[in-house]
Structure 1
Amino acid sequence: MKKLIIIFAVFASFLANAQQGIIEPVTWNSKVQKISDTEYNIILTGSIDEEWHVFSQFTNEDGSLPSVLTFKNSEGNYELVDNAKEGETVKAFNDIFEVEETYFLNKAQFTQRISLLSEGVKQVNVHLEYQVCKDVCINKEENFIINLDGTKAELTNVVLDEKSKALSNSLLLDLKHKERLQSGSDEITTEGNLWKIFALGFLGGLVALLTPCVFPMIPLTVSFFTKQSGNKSKGITNAILYGAFIVIIYVGLSVPFHFLDSVDPEILNTISTNIWLNVIFFIIFIFFAFSFFGYYELTLPSSWSNKMDSASSAGGLIGIFFMAVTLALVSFSCTGPILGSLLAGSLTSAGGAFQLTAGMTGFGAALALPFALFALFPNLLKSLPKSGGWLTTVKVLLGFVELALAFKFLSNADLVAHWGILKREVFIGIWMVIFLLMALYFFGVIRFPHDGKKKLSFPKISFAILVVAFVIYLGTGLTKNSHLKLLAGFPPPTFYSLYEQESDCPLGLDCYKDFDEGLAFAKANNKPILLDFTGWACVNCRKMEENVWSDPKVYKLLKENYVLISLYVDDRKALSEDEQFKIKLSENHLKSIETVGDKWSTFQYVNFQTASQPYYVTMNANLEILNEAKQYAGIDEYYEWLKVGVRK
């Protein structure tokens, strides 16, 4: 048990350090070596922390990611002489990728010779992408502006052009009474959201337990521990350790996202609203769905599970750990799609990477619970239902759910890109067809490859009737400006509709989608501002609009007393060339502002030091903050909050 506590402590410390951005395994510097009047060596040297390693440019492409050097301002100024030479490297075989890899230990060094093509070249701009690994791998980037006269100029010395300076400064607000933004209620909201996500992850784990890949493993594994451990006490301890390792394994899957979150606080939201990533999720979930329907089996390479199974025979703590890894691998065909749903649904900035960790912890805890519980009370094993056709029915049910979720991801891409393919009524219609097919399956009208002859039963007929009722409920959402409050956030917003709309703002309210325009109107009309940081693919934003803003008293207050400025942080519409610029967010982070979403997400971060949505701020036309910032809230709480802003 002491060993288990140590493992949890080390793991918690590791997560905390990652979240705070403490882990920086490589420190870089650059220098210039003059060979002649026209030739120079550009030398980049990285000091690598103990036990970490950085991969060579020439490591096997079938393994980890190689380092990549890009010389940005070379065209017409200079040319590269041969490939970049490297310092001392080592080679080692990677059991996971089954290839020999080449990497640096302690020190990484790249030397690139350049030959000048014209006079007057003073600087070289080098971009380095690399992967640094220890127990986990981090993808990193470095930018170097190197002066050929020998002085070193990294990103900290980058001089922005006048346009970028002016547009960067225009994003910064001279906010007054910023201390009012702080509120304990927001912390409670974030903590509450984490518990909700933990609960959803736990529910997903319980569903995974009822699949053919996991359910039969419960009595076999528990019996192994209770009969093969020598005595009952040791058997119980081993089963509990087995369950604990299951939790650690699934939580470990979230670790890389803590590094991403520490590098750039907006990166998780950027990933979750990326157009093509959502399209890829759509394709993957369709693939998952047909796997659940029985048209093919989704498995990881058998060599992985075989190796883990061999390692599990080592005995002791290590053997139990590898038994848990083996379970995770062999059950992937059933747990993979559920984990994929959890991963894709948690990739937002609202709770950062800890949001994903909370979900993974819940999932792992639900999977681990029966192994510990039945080890403590082995007589309960007799009460477990026998494996059979009902497990196949559960898989088909999950297949229909995956199919419905697939179109949610396609809808996200459609909304962000403004394609206009999945308008609200089209999306609802597709869901009606999917769930009607589900009902027909439970009525026995349609079958799938792994289905045998099945008799109708009362539970199946009852469930099918409930699904038909849900389809009818979905049908009520096809009328103009109708709200499906039970599904708020899943269908596209009411103004993204086939019906002609009076406004492209939520609920037909008047709103501005540019801060300066909204501010000018507020000044002219002496009204307070409700600054609404939102997103096209933001589920909680839609829930607030359809469940809270739609309340008559809240709606009236918004319409009559506030100037609503809605800024969409995930809008991928490109800015004109005159509006595009670069902004220096920190000493080591130069960001390109190329889309509407880039502009407003950066605007939110530099002024309010947050990257979550929805995020509401009340202020007056003199940029005085009127109240604490608000995120997700109930009707009465939100109404009172709006009233405070009006009074002030």
Structure 2
Amino acid sequence: MKQPILIITFLIISFTSFGQILEPVKWSFDSKQDGDQVQLIFKATIEESWHLYDTYLPEGGPVATSINYEDTTRFAFVGDLQKTPEPSEEFDETFQMVLRYFSHQAEFVQNVKLKTDEPVTINGYVEFMCCDDETCLPPTEVDFSFTFNDSKEQAVGESKINVESNTTKILTDKGKEGSTETLWLFFFFSLLAGFAAILTPCVFPMIPMTVSFFMHSGKSKLKSRLHAAFYGFSIIAIYTIVGTLVAVVFGPDAANWLSTHWLPNTLFFIIFVVFAFSFFGMFEITLPSWLVNRSDKQVDKGGFLGSFFMALTLVLVSFSCTGPIVGAILVESAGGAVLKPIVGMFGFALAFALPFTLFALFPGWLNNLPKSGGWLNSVKVVLGFLELALGLKFLSIADQTYHWGILDREVYLALWIVIFILMGFYLLGKLKFSHDSDVKFVSVPRLMMAIITFSFVVYLIPGMFGAPLKAISGYLPPQTTHDFDLHKIIRDEVKLVGATGGTIGFHEGNEQCEDPKFAEFLHLPHGLDGYFDYEQGMACAKALNKPVFIDFTGHGCVNCREMEANVWSDPRVLERLKNEFVIIALYVDDKSKLPESEWVTSTYDGKVKKTLGKKYADFQITRFGVNAQPYYVLLDNNGDLLVDPKAYDLNPDNFIDFLDRGMNEFKERN
């Protein structure tokens, strides 16, 4: 963002945000009915400099906009959610990803069909998150209600902050197309996969066989080349049609289920392992012979139909080598996008068909091809190692989602290290399978691949001791699942020094300073200790006679992460936070369910808050009249305000002044 906008926005927020509730997005609801066909219309009006996030965002980013319905038994969805205008795209430095958002206004339209002539009421809520250049608000819910086949008002919407709803979320439109940049990268990845598939033992030997078919077909050179071109086009069409069917049949909801549920992810893991064992030579995976033979018989009919069935036969025969590669592309695209599987399969098919088509058009090039041999099997075995490593990602997703605890980060890394060490030894000829040829010498390409493989292993090893491994973090389980984190051990050792005169953790050695609740999934940055429950943190502060530093934050708060990275990391700030204050971090967007004894009824909207995030989002609003994060509050241990709270400010000196003024005020009161 441009610097003048940042400065102006910051000044406005500094003078106006305290003591008021920010509502930069206003929602209105409308509908149109034609018989049993209905349009549900959701309109958002967005204040200047604010933006509303799109209905699909990558994992690890802020909360996407979603429309959630309470009961769908009396109507059916017709088509996907329509959005106007097209959202803008911008690369976010904090999340390191491209995010899509709306400015000024947005309209969402969902077509539905009513299943009855009786009065029908459609209830639900819109959940959304919005930010400006300086501030991000926590996820907010707005109730809506549409009534049809009745003379009463047909659409009711109420814009409130953090409206509680007991509805069940059954629809989350995740967007359809993704960014153009992402699609191009996926196309390039699929293109490389197509070229890799050519170098497998099931495919490479078929190139001269295919060329021979067109050369000896008894047709003129022109007709042979036309049929060869149609043959290549047919290969592309067959694979692209498969991708299209995946997109149409599965759709965004089924694709989201495929990418997150334990059942498909465990199944994908098993499939990848089975194919890896096949690549290693344990057994051969083939399609039923009747299917291949039936296609092969159609080839004899000749003409364009014969060329098509020649292409179909190639696809079927090569399945045992291309199956896992094609499956990986389709699974990779299973994130709710419609274009992605089509683009992926088109890219794969384009690369896969290219050599067959070119050699069929120019058969003289065959003389320059390397002969089939043991090198093809080596390619297949290397692909087996890669299949084994990548298959672990699916098991990891299921493990994280359902908290099985069988594939923590160091277990995952240990398996990868062993897999790639074995792959490196195989490339050097030190590991051999039963169907491998003897490696009398190591060629330069094999040596270079072995160097790359062992270099990757060296890169992985520090991860066993807690190194973040940022280059591949997207493929690894989260850092919080790491049991043996050397950095954490060192921090704990430093705390133990307190027993001989050093610094003791603030909740140690005092009966009233309990171990923090929710610490198994909530954490503070830079090794700081703190609480995630207000009452528990206040009790510790009173016991230690220390002031309280409250951090209103969120998992999806971009500016919170910027403050932690640029301000909290300052040694002067860290020293003060660690030694002078009891830190209470209150996550306003956490979805963890609270026991009924900890539910609170809001004095702001009268709703019952049943999750950790809703409880503390409501606490921030009712106690301080603000709903923006980051928001920092200094209290004495009686809960009284020490100095005016502070919002987003990347100047460490200003933050130090804020902490020092609070500490001085606390000392004066004591």
- TM-score using structure 1 length: 0.54
Separation in 1, partners of 2:214, 2:529: 63
Task: Report the equivalent of 1:198.
Answer: 187
Q: Out of 335, 348, 354, which is 1:348 matched to?
A: 335
SS in 1 for 2:338: helix
Matches within 5 A, 1:207-606: 207-228=196-217, 230-260=219-249, 262=251, 265-349=252-336, 352-459=337-444, 460-480=446-466, 482-499=467-484, 504=521, 508=525, 532=556
2-structure distance, mates of 1:554, 1:291: 53
Aligned to 1:137: none
Q: 2:436 and 2:205 mapped to 1: Cα distance?
A: 19
Amino acid at match of 1:294: G
**CA shift in 2, pair 1:204/1:442, >3 Å:** same
C-alpha RMSD of the superposition: 5.3
Match runs of 1:80-229 below 5 Å: 156-157=120-121, 169=143, 190-228=179-217
Give the distance between the partners of 2:295 and 2:274, measured in 1 at CA: 26
* Secondary structure of residue in 1 paired with 2:322: helix
Computing the radius of gyration from Cα coordinates, the structure with the larger value is: 2
Tell me: CA distance 1:273–1:245, structure 2 relative to 1, closer, same or farther (3 Å): same
In structure 2, the gaps of 5 or more residues are 1-34, 38-72, 77-111, 126-139, 145-156, 163-174, 492-518, 536-547, 575-584, 599-609, 615-624, 630-647, 651-670
- Relative to structure 1, the CA distance from residue 553 to residue 375 in structure 2 (aligned partners, 3 Å threshold; closer, same or farther) is farther
Deviation at 1:304, TM superposition (A): 0.8
| Distance in 2 separating the partners of 1:487 and 1:199 | 19
Distance 1:550 1:392 in 2: 53
What secondary structure, in the 3-state scheme, does the structure 2 residue paired with 1:495 have? helix
SS of the equivalent of 2:556 reads: strand
Whether the 8 Å CA contact 1:225–1:235 is kept in 2: the answer is yes
397-406 or 438-447: bigger deviation: 438-447
CA distance in 2 between counterparts of 1:452 and 1:189 reads 46
Deviation at 1:169, TM superposition (A): 3.0
Going from structure 1 to structure 2, the CA distance change for 1:270 and 1:318 (only over 3 Å counts) comes to same
Question: For the residues of structure 1 that align with 2:529 and 2:295, how far apart are their CA atoms?
Answer: 57
**Using the alignment, how far apart are the partners of 2:383 and 2:568 within structure 1?**
38
1:522-548 residue CA offsets vs partner (Å, 9 max, x unmatched): xx99999777399xxxxxxxxxx9xx9
Q: Is the 8 A contact 1:242 1:321 kept in 2?
A: yes
Please list the CA deviations of residues 388-445 of structure 1 after superposition, one character each: whole Å capped at 9, or x if unmatched: 0000000100000011012111111111112222111111111001111112222333
Quick one: structure 1 residues 152 and 551, their matched pair in 2 at CA, closer, same or farther if it must change by over 3 Å? closer
Deviates more, 1:334-343 or 1:495-504: 495-504
For residue 192 of structure 1, report the CA deviation from its aligned partner.
0.7
Post-superposition CA distance 1:151-182 (Å, at most 9, x none): 657xx557899xxxx99839986599xxxxxx
- The 3-state SS of whatever aligns with 2:475 is coil
Q: Which amino acid aligns with 1:401?
A: L
Aligned-partner Cα distance in 2 for 1:341–1:489: 16
For structure 1, the 5+ residue unaligned runs are 1-26, 30-124, 129-141, 177-185, 518-523, 535-544, 580-594, 601-619, 625-640, 644-648
1:277 maps to a residue whose letter is: P
Q: Aligned AA for 1:421? A: I
The answer on whether the counterparts of 1:425 and 1:477 sit within 8 Å (CA) in structure 2 is yes
Alpha-carbon shift at residue 333 of structure 1 (Å): 0.3
Write the letter of the residue equivalent to 1:532: G
Looking at structure 1, the residues matched to 451 and 398 of structure 2 have their Cα atoms a distance apart, in angstroms, of 33
Q: Which amino acid aligns with 1:422?
A: L
Shift of 1:272: 0.5
The alpha carbon displacement at 1:328 in A equals: 0.6
Alignment partners' CA distance in 2, 1:313 and 1:389 = 32
Q: How far has the Cα of 1:343 moved from its partner?
A: 1.7
For 1:336, the aligned partner's letter is G
CA displacement 1:228-284 (0-9 Å, x = unmatched) = 26222222221121111111111111223333565xx44322221111211111111
Q: What SS does the aligned partner of 1:387 have? A: coil
Query: Does the 8 Å contact 1:205/1:366 carry over to 2?
Result: yes
Deviation for aligned residue 1:382: 1.3
CA separation of 1:549 and 1:28: change in aligned 2, threshold 3 A:
same
Task: Give the AA of the match of 1:465.
Answer: I
* Offset of residue 511 of structure 1: 14
Task: Indicate how the Cα distance of structure 1 residues 467 and 551 shifts in structure 2: closer, same or farther if over 3 A, else same.
Answer: farther
Give the AA of the match of 2:440. K
Q: Please state whether the residue corresponding to 1:169 is helix, strand or coil.
A: strand
1:189 shift after superposition: 7.0
CA distance in 1, matches of 2:161, 2:358: 55
Q: Distance in 1 between matches of 2:284 and 2:469?
A: 36
Question: What SS is found at the alignment partner of 2:143?
Answer: helix
**Match for 1:334: what amino acid?**
C
Q: CA deviation at 1:295?
A: 0.7
Per the alignment, in what secondary structure is the counterpart of residue 455 of structure 2?
helix
**Between 524-533 and 237-246, the greater mean CA deviation after superposition:** 524-533
2: CA distance, partners of 1:432 / 1:241: 45
The residue type equivalent to 2:387 in the other structure is: E
CA, structure 1 residues 623+463, in 2 after alignment: closer, same or farther (shift >3 Å)?
A: closer
What letter matches 2:383 in structure 1?
Answer: L
Equivalent pair of 2:464/2:484 in contact (CA under 8 Å): no
